[in-house]
Structure 1
Amino acid sequence: MNAAAPSPALPDDLCARLRDTLLEQGFTTTGVRDLLGAGPHAALTRGEPEAAARATREAGGLGSLVRLFLLGGTEAAPPLPGLDALVAGGLLTRTPDGVRAAMDLRPYGEEDASGEALWYVLSDLDTPAARQDRDHVTGVGGASLTLASSLVRTAVRDTLDLGTGCGVQALHASRFSGRVTATDVAPRALATARATLALSGVRNVDLVEGPWLAPVSDRRFDAIVSNPPFVPGPARVEYVYRDSGQAGDAALAGLLRDLPARLRPGGRAQLLGSWLHVRGEDWPDRVRSWVPEGCDAWIVQREVTDPALHVGTWQRDAGLDLSAPATRAQAAAWLDWLEAERVEAVGFGFLLLRTVPDGRAPEVVVEDLPGELADPLNAEMAGWLDRVDWLRNHARDEALLGARLTLSPSATLERYAVAGDEGWSDAGAAVVLADGPQWRHEVDEPAAALLAGCSGALPLAELFALLSFAHDRPVDALVQAALPAVREFVRHGVLLPAGAAR
């Protein structure tokens, strides 16, 4: 493991001048995409730089910045203010031919109803050597983007970004929060986040050093967001950004139990996490046991990996040579630990938590959501909270039967058949949503008819009466069989309260 690199030291005034220059040169997500064109930009995203380099040849100052910061090139005279100060601050390093990037700096942003955010994210270089630093500060990776795309954007007074790293989640939270407090145990991460925020022109974020929730032990927040060290393994800290120092998934379990004390009533927490699938234990029950009393929780498993793939993935993430003797010894020790703990697989996914006022029954749902997502999950997360509230207000069967529901406009009915000696015969049907998580529910004929009748015109009780007549079945039997499915349809947004938008 390499010695830790020095922390960046970029004063706010230098960051402000640098930001102005980057914007003037068009070094933004849109500017870079337009310069490179679709093909070279896609190639660069895949880690293939040559097409992008060719596109910058006659691109002036913007081309120089792309080569310097995105292609790892050396530039004799890049259009940047205060080169000596940028070298002294750790952003650049001098070579006989000019300067090259000593840290990763790239444009970043998101667009919403209020317009496009023009941000810049500073992090350590994504090279095998750099990734082996114990205090390595990762940039905008897959996990960061995954969490950011799931954040509920409902406006709040304040948000805690727990374990901010380079500051990505703090940037997103700054758009829906009056104030953000971002913490990290690593001083180098906080220095990097400070530069990210200054370069992005974001001023409503306070940075605080300390482990886990200790720096805010006397405070409460409306929202908490966290991409914590969640890689299950032996108790160790080889890399601060991924290792919790606790064995297995104990750190995640402990964090979930501690979060409600840092949330105001009705406050929400969103985080990523990994959990162990232990032989002889039901993984949903295991994770469900971590949810504190008095909290709604939606835990969504997105991926499941076997132990060998889990270890190999994170060794590759650290930039290790998988065939090197030391790497193989580490893998052997890791796999031995997983085997001793009876681990059959490792799950990964989202965790959404919300405190519920006293006296109201919480809703805890643990489920799988494999495959590609058609849309970001932020709208689905917000919708899940709203629909859970609605279901809580309609917990009694009488209240639900009196409600008017509408079928989601993105719902379609798929029928399928199987081939036999006499041709095709019907084998079943499913209602499928075309957007969001694309939930799929198997349905029988009465359920399909019920869904088709949900236009908001009639309460459920009257629809059941019509179904009873059409299918010659007792209405009480239909109600008893179908109401649990109706609640699940509402929870997944297949059915919506009349007047509600998906």
Structure 2
Amino acid sequence: MPLGADPDLLASLRADLDAARYTVEGLEAAWGPVAAEALGRDDPVPALLELARREPSPAGVLGALFVLGADRPADQVDRALPGTGTVGAERLGLIRLADGVARALVDLRPYALADESGVAAWWIASDPGEMALGGELPEEHVLGAGAASGTLAQILVGTGTGSVLDLGTGSGVQGLIAARSASRVVATDVSARALEFARLNAALNGVALDLREGSLYEPVAGERFDRIVTNPPFVITPRGADGVPAYTYRDGGFAGDGLVEALVRGAADHLAPGGVAQLLGNWEVRGDLDAARQRVLDWAGPLDVWVVERDLLDPAQYAETWVRDGGAQPGTARYRSLVRAWLEDFAARGVTAIGAGYVTLRAPRGTATLRRFEHLDGAVGSGIGAAIEAGLAAHDLQRALPDDALADTVLVVAPDVTEHRHYWPGDADPTVIELRQGTGFARVRRVDTVAAAVVGACDGELPVGAIADAVARLLDADPDDTRAAVLPVVRELWFEGFLALG
């Protein structure tokens, strides 16, 4: 029987989980903040020890069973799930009973999200992870709400009430997020097992998803969407190397970065006019760095494209990261053989580095005009999705503004921006002036004295040109030269969110 195929039992399970306070906060209360921090490092020992010291609580029993992968007495589980019971949980495919002991067959845990659309919480079922299995993951592993899921959720622009395609849905996390506001969500995956989990999670959380099986855009041939979101299997993995596992959730069987390229190139045929696609991706650098970045931009074809590179790893760093992710332990022969396979694959194709980050694509209503690739490897703040949306809007406004029109525009400093000046001891003039953002991408931009003065005077009263002219007079500089120097800086600061329309 498929996972969660009984709707009445699922309704009972939902009520039981709710009554057990099986939430993110409820689990932390069950095993304490220290254990919760350790679980973030994939260390279950503090949580297991803390649970052993305490009287069994419903949330603690369920957390031990479904998160930590620890067997629990059937009578404890029956008390934690009074409506569903262990017999019902077994019928749903969640546990296996043997000799009065319940063993989890799935990872089932609470997941919470706070973004511009508000706060939401779900229960997400997936395959048990490395922590519960105590070893390497099977190739058909279905991932739950991992770190990448959270990253993609943070960068999404508002979905509005239109249609959304969640391509490569996995356990359905992005589909659940999109369904909060979208009128229709189509969720696809090449893995039938992943779709089984997505179907269970949608039903458990009372969400309607149109689930379809197939590779890339095949299940939606001829259809267009207002939004496309995808956390694809982007990991660059050696093809055909002996002993290298081909994880369905991590790589899609393409050589190099071919999967990400196919996703980006195919988006143009499936976005409605003005529609936005966003994805996480990895891309290879072969030789010249600028040429490699231009290659990624070229994949977008007729679409607007904005790439934010968050990491640039050398091949050894990349290989070590993903070999460990699969469960192979450093120092073992297995670990060394896998790292060697990765490095030999990169060397054979001349790969010198691997970039990782976010890609935002948009179907313009006219000719594509945005071609932006930037490397931002610092800490980020909240509201990245809103920052991307504001950047796209600023780009659109600026397209119709020649310099004289920009000079007539009234701008204001964004409320999260602060100015920092650095001086050598005893000097009257600063050596460095920085503008810093407190939210979004938390950019830090160095500006000169003239630009700092213009930005500082953008309070919604005077247009940019008038401010630049006043600064020129104060500095006894030529007004035309000052405008020519300042206006390009103003354009960039507006796009980046340091400035906004007054």
Question: What's the TM-score, normalizing by structure 2?
Answer: 0.91
Supply the distance in 1 between the matched residues of 2:60 and 2:29 (Cα, whole angstroms): 12
SS of equivalent residue, structure 2 residue 372:
strand
Counterpart in the other structure of 1:75: 72
Counterpart in the other structure of 2:408: 402
Structure 1 residues 55 and 321: CA distance shift in structure 2, 3 A: closer
Does 43-52 or 313-322 show the bigger shift? 43-52
Structure 1 residues 470 and 268: CA distance shift in structure 2, 3 A: same
* Equivalent of 2:418 in 407, 412, 417: 412
Indicate whether 1:472 and 2:479 are aligned: no
The offset of 1:192, in angstroms, is 0.8
Supply the distance in 1 between the matched residues of 2:324 and 2:33 (Cα, whole angstroms): 29
2:380/2:441 contact within 8 Å kept: yes
Q: Which amino acid aligns with 2:275?
A: G
Q: Which amino acid aligns with 2:33?
A: A
* Equivalent of 2:158 in 153, 159, 172: 153
Indicate whether 1:87 and 2:90 are aligned: yes
The offset of 1:59, in angstroms, is 4.7
Counterpart in the other structure of 2:296: 287
Q: Which amino acid aligns with 1:332?
A: R
* Equivalent of 2:381 in 364, 374, 381: 374
Structure 1 residues 113 and 184: CA distance shift in structure 2, 3 A: closer
1:103/1:125 contact within 8 Å kept: yes
Indicate whether 1:99 and 2:92 are aligned: no
What are the superposed Cα offsets for residues 110-167 of structure 1, whole Å, 9 maximum, x if unpaired? 2467764331101111125675312110111111111111111241311000000011
Counterpart in the other structure of 2:60: 63
Indicate whether 1:21 and 2:16 are aligned: yes
Q: Which amino acid aligns with 2:467?
A: L
Structure 1 residues 361 and 289: CA distance shift in structure 2, 3 A: closer
The offset of 1:51, in angstroms, is 4.1
SS of equivalent residue, structure 1 residue 223:
strand
SS of equivalent residue, structure 2 residue 336:
helix
1:40/1:55 contact within 8 Å kept: no
Does 481-490 or 327-336 show the bigger shift? 327-336
Give the fraction of aligned pairs with identical amino acids, expressed as a percent: 37
SS of equivalent residue, structure 1 residue 230:
coil
Residues 43-442 of structure 1: pairs in structure 2 closer than 5 A? 43-53=38-48, 54-55=50-51, 57-76=54-73, 77=75, 78=77, 79-80=80-81, 81-111=84-114, 116-127=119-130, 131-203=136-208, 205-235=209-239, 238-282=246-290, 283-293=292-302, 295-358=303-366, 360-394=367-401, 396-418=402-424, 426-442=430-446
Question: What's the TM-score, normalizing by structure 1?
Answer: 0.91
Structure 1 residues 66 and 412: CA distance shift in structure 2, 3 A: same
The offset of 1:70, in angstroms, is 2.4
The offset of 1:423, in angstroms, is 7.8
Supply the distance in 2 between the matched residues of 1:406 and 1:10 (Cα, whole angstroms): 55
Structure 1 residues 336 and 450: CA distance shift in structure 2, 3 A: same
What is the RMSD of the two structures over their aligned residues, measured on CA atoms? Answer: 2.3
Counterpart in the other structure of 1:3: none
Supply the distance in 2 between the matched residues of 1:221 and 1:69 (Cα, whole angstroms): 36
Supply the distance in 2 between the matched residues of 1:296 and 1:69 (Cα, whole angstroms): 43
Unaligned runs of 5+ in 1: 1-5
Unaligned runs of 5+ in 2: none
2:237/2:342 contact within 8 Å kept: yes
Supply the distance in 2 between the matched residues of 1:430 and 1:354 (Cα, whole angstroms): 31
What are the superposed Cα offsets for residues 186-244 of structure 1, whole Å, 9 maximum, x if unpaired? 100000111111111212x1100000000001211000000111112334671111112
Supply the distance in 2 between the matched residues of 1:12 and 1:273 (Cα, whole angstroms): 37
SS of equivalent residue, structure 1 residue 406:
strand
* Equivalent of 1:452 in 456, 459, 470: 456
